Amino acid sequence: MNAPDPPLLRMSGIGKSFFGVNVLEGIDLDVRSGEVHALVGENGAGKSTLMKILAGVHPADTGHIELSGERVEFSHPVRAQQAGVSTVFQEFNLLPERTVAENVYLGREPVRRGRVNARGMADDTAGLLDELGITGISPHAAVRTLSVAQQQIVEVVKALSSDARIISMDEPTAALADHEVELLYRLVRRLRDRGMAVLYVSHRLKEIFDLCDRATVLKDGRRVDTVPISATTPTELIRMMVGRPISTFFPDPIEGTRPGPVRLEVAQGGNDRLDGIDMQVRGGEIVGLAGLQGSGRTEIAHALFGIARFTRGEVRVDGRRVALRSPTRAVREGIALVTEDRKTQGLALSQSVLANGRLVLDSVLPFRARSGARRLPGFFTSLELVARDTAQEVRFLSGGNQQKVVLAKWLATEPKIIVLDEPTRGIDVGAKRAVYTLIRELAAAGVAIVLISSELQEVIGLADRVLVLHDGRIFGELPAGASEEAVMSLATGSHNNGREVA
């Protein structure tokens, strides 16, 4: 009887520490040819460090790596690429002003008669795109003209051009619009069908169960288990990740929470992207905004925060008409906005935790800065912020802890109204639960909350009412606990149940 073929990738006993702190300890991981293997765990579990060891960014302190049964050592990312291991990180490594073909062959341009063979690069890139069934991307197009999903495809084509056998992908859908996710799905399935091994890191359990064959769960730098996706459930996977059972993912409303008077009102609000927006949010109420990408959800958030203001209609706060001409004015009216992109819009990454917590206080509300700053440590504690200390630069925190700094920054301003745009994007299930609990606590304290999320279960699980947008208009209203089907029916404009809006 023949021995089974070794896995394409085997990582054995991998350990790593930084400044005396163990980040990984005794990690075993194997990935087979033709397999999509999920790597899951809370932020800080060690996923990114393990990926960087595989990519040759960090050397392992203990353990070893084998490819097709042969031991290898990667002292540099180039060595990993030469061995057939490519990594697509969340932050793309592309030059925006250069063409697709130039990016695919960057640093290893083919030369013909002493000159770069631009035509050969373009032809080879076109062949790889065709092989993957990708249309709509020209090898001659500048990368800056491509969508985020198309740029991700360029990263994958770059990996294939270097004869990659293993591709690891770090949160590949984090920045994608809803309609672009299926394009990535098709791409990953084609890679699997080619016999490649795909190591897939994501916080979105739906993707794990849609795409992956097995999942390895990490917690606190250790491997909890490796399980076939067909033999587990989302609830069980969450239990392994957080180390405790979760009987219900979304916390119930806090006893005694009752909606108060109308705190925020928009009457016939409109601009070049929105039309006829009528909405009310009471103190102590969570109102969800649902809809497909481009439906107007984020545009409403920006209008309420004075970024791209309403040019028609009126906005009232506590019954008083207000002109939200700028974010500064919105903050002074008691409105906070947690933006969907915390890294570019919500944080000063090179500054400390404390400095980020004081950003709005110092720049917009100096008369409240002293009292607000005194409350910040309490907010950091209640949010269970994990940081070395408040002097640590925010860029060194995990995504979930960065989001907690953003939330603390706004809590310090004592807002009446909070607009949450994708508040849990890119953070793990444990951190999500903490954010959900905070949202419930804010509502119980009388804050009016507008919740925007691409994850329908998030909106349905938390909101007291759901306003569904389509093409810049509120297309209907649904009660708490509405089905995903009912929301999508309105979001696609295919059905008019719920509250009809003239």
In angstroms, the CA 127 to CA 142 distance is 18
First to last CA, the chain: 73
Q: What is the pLDDT of residue 494?
A: 58
pLDDT digits (tens, 9 = 90+) for 378-435: 888 888 888 899 999 999 888 788 888 999 999 999 999 999 998 887 777 777 888 8
Q: Whole-angstrom Cα distance, residue 237 to residue 78?
A: 34
Q: Note the pLDDT of residue 495.
A: 56
Q: What is the pTM of this model?
A: 0.61
What gap in Å lies between CA 199 and CA 85, rounded to an integer? 10
Q: Which residues make Cβ contacts (< 8 Å) with residue 99, sequence separation at least 6?
A: 122, 139, 140, 141, 142, 143
pLDDT, tens digit only, all 502 positions of the chain: 455 678 999 999 999 998 777 889 999 999 999 999 999 887 678 888 999 999 999 999 999 999 999 999 998 888 998 899 988 877 677 888 899 999 888 877 878 877 888 888 899 899 888 887 888 889 999 999 988 778 888 888 888 887 889 999 888 876 666 667 887 888 889 889 989 999 999 877 888 999 999 999 998 899 999 999 999 988 788 778 877 554 456 778 887 778 899 999 999 999 998 999 999 999 999 999 998 777 899 999 999 999 988 999 999 999 999 999 999 999 999 999 998 888 888 899 999 999 999 999 888 988 888 888 888 998 888 888 888 999 999 998 887 888 889 999 999 999 999 999 988 877 777 778 888 988 999 999 999 999 998 778 889 889 999 999 988 999 999 998 888 778 877 887 655 544 443 3
Domains of the chain: 9-242 (3.40.50.300), 260-334+416-427+443-502 (3.40.50.300), 346-414 (no CATH)
Do 368 and 413 contact (CB within 8 A), yes or no? yes
Pick the closest to residue 222 from 246, 243, 199 (CA basis): 243
- In this structure, are residues 225 and 240 in contact, taking their beta carbons and an 8 Å threshold? yes
Contact 453, 461 (CB under 8 A): no
> What pLDDT shows up at residue 249?
67
Report how far apart, in Å, the C-alpha atoms of 313 and of each of 178, 271, 281, 296, 371 are.
Answer: 30, 9, 17, 16, 36
Question: For residues 150 and 161, what is the distance between their CA atoms, to the nearest angstrom?
Answer: 16
